Amino acid sequence: MTALLPLDDYTLRVVVLGAATLGVVAGALGTFAVLRRQALVGDAISHAALPGVALAYLLTGSKSSLLLMIGAALTGFAAVLLVTAVVRTTRVKQDAALGIWLSVFFGVGLVLLTWLQRRPDASQAGLDRFLFGQAATLLREDVVTMAAAGALALLVLLALWKELKVLAFDHEFGATLGLRMRLVDVVLVGLLVVAIVIGLQTVGAVLMASMIVAPAAAARQWTDRLGAMTVLAAAFGALAGALGAVASAEVSRLPTGPTIVVVATALVAVSLLAAPRRGLVARAVRSRRARERLGLAQVLADLAQLEQVHEGPARGHHAATVGAMEQADVLPALVELERRGLVERTPDDRWLLTDRGRSEVSRA
């Protein structure tokens, strides 16, 4: 059953603002996570943030969004540290270590959450929104907290722009320059933690990681510049956040996280298909044009070869003769060549090179 919620302008504005804020921060920082090939780290952080939310509530009894975010950040960060520790001290590879800790933390989070739900007091109600997100529960104070934390993260990103760029492109080279790449890596993880926890209430732990990956992946299709990619990813993130939040706020029981992620994924799909140069369509057109160009040149060369084989004054040849050489229908190519003035059609329906056609062949 769906029904329109009586959301007034003010509430809607808060919700859209909050969702757009998380989109901007996740998109911009996600750019570096994706380029550093650490997109999965985002997944681990967001899942591992769940027990932090439950613990923060359990310990303080407060549902203030700042406290819950701090709890989420602490467990999210702890999970990444544990992953690093496992990779350093054992032979387990990073993807496996991520998978292990992600499941452990998320499992603990679900247990805590379920247990909290069963407690007799009703004050814990609503914590489950951290699973799939519920933008409609955003308050003005929440958005202010999100914006402040997000702005701080973006400032750090700007300040460490070149260090983060080297980290993502060639961190070993960076280390030989004397730049403290491990520290920069930890800072990047810290920034990702911030980006993720500010989106937790809106998008939820299960899907927040895709807000790190999707806008950046979409943005990469449209530009070859790091700065432009970061700005574009922020814009895509904001767009997905805002559209998804509006949709889920207007339609009851539509969870916000999945809606936002669906919009973000649509942006990725459109970008993969339609982006100029990198997009699939553009690439298909390019390779087809290349094939056609090759085809025209080939047909032209075939005609020249036939001319050489036959002595005496140049005479035309039937399309079928050329076609037999290429084992294909060359008529469209001949028509196109005629349009370009490189061949002409004789009255008895043969095809003859023009002078321009001949010089074109000898040039090639």
Residues that bind other proteins (CB under 8 A): 35, 37, 91, 159-160, 162-163, 165-166, 168-170, 172-179, 220, 223-226, 228-229
Least CB distance to other proteins at residue 225 (A): 6
Closest CB 166 distance from other proteins, rounded Å: 6
Smallest gap from Cβ 220 to other proteins, in A, equals: 7
CB of 222 or CB of 351, closer to other proteins: 222
CB of 80 to other proteins, least distance (A): 22
Task: Give 118 or 225: the residue with its C-beta nearer to other proteins.
Answer: 225
**HEC string for the chain:** CCCECCCCHHHHHHHHHHHHHHHHHHHHHHHHHHHCCCHHHHHHHHHHHHHHHHHHHHHHCCCCHHHHHHHHHHHHHHHHHHHHHHHHHCCCCHHHHHHHHHHHHHHHHHHHHHHHHHCCCCCCCCCCHHHHCCHHHCCHHHHHHHHHHHHHHHHHHHHCHHHHHHHHHHHHHHHHCCCCHHHHHHHHHHHHHHHHHCCHHHHCCCCHHHHHHHHHHHHHHHCCCHHHHHHHHHHHHHHHHHHHHHHHHHECCCCHHHHHHHHHHHHHHHHHHHCCCCCHHHHHHHHHHHHHHHHHHHHHHHHHHHHHHCCCCCCCECHHHHHHHHCCCCHHHHHHHHHCCCEEECCCCCEEECHHHHHHHHHC
Which of residues 132 and 161 has its CB atom nearest to other proteins in the complex?
161
Report, in Å, the least distance between residue 167 CB and other proteins. 11
CB of 82 to other proteins, least distance (A): 22
Minimum Å gap between C-beta 164 and other proteins is 11
Q: Is 37 left (phi over 0), alpha (psi -120 to 50) or beta?
A: left
Return the number of the residue (84 or 137) whose C-beta is nearest other proteins.
Answer: 84
Residue placing its CB nearer to other proteins in the complex, 32 or 106: 32
Q: Based on CB atoms, which residue is closest to other proteins, 90 or 103?
A: 90
Judged by CB, which is closer to other proteins: 165, or 358?
165
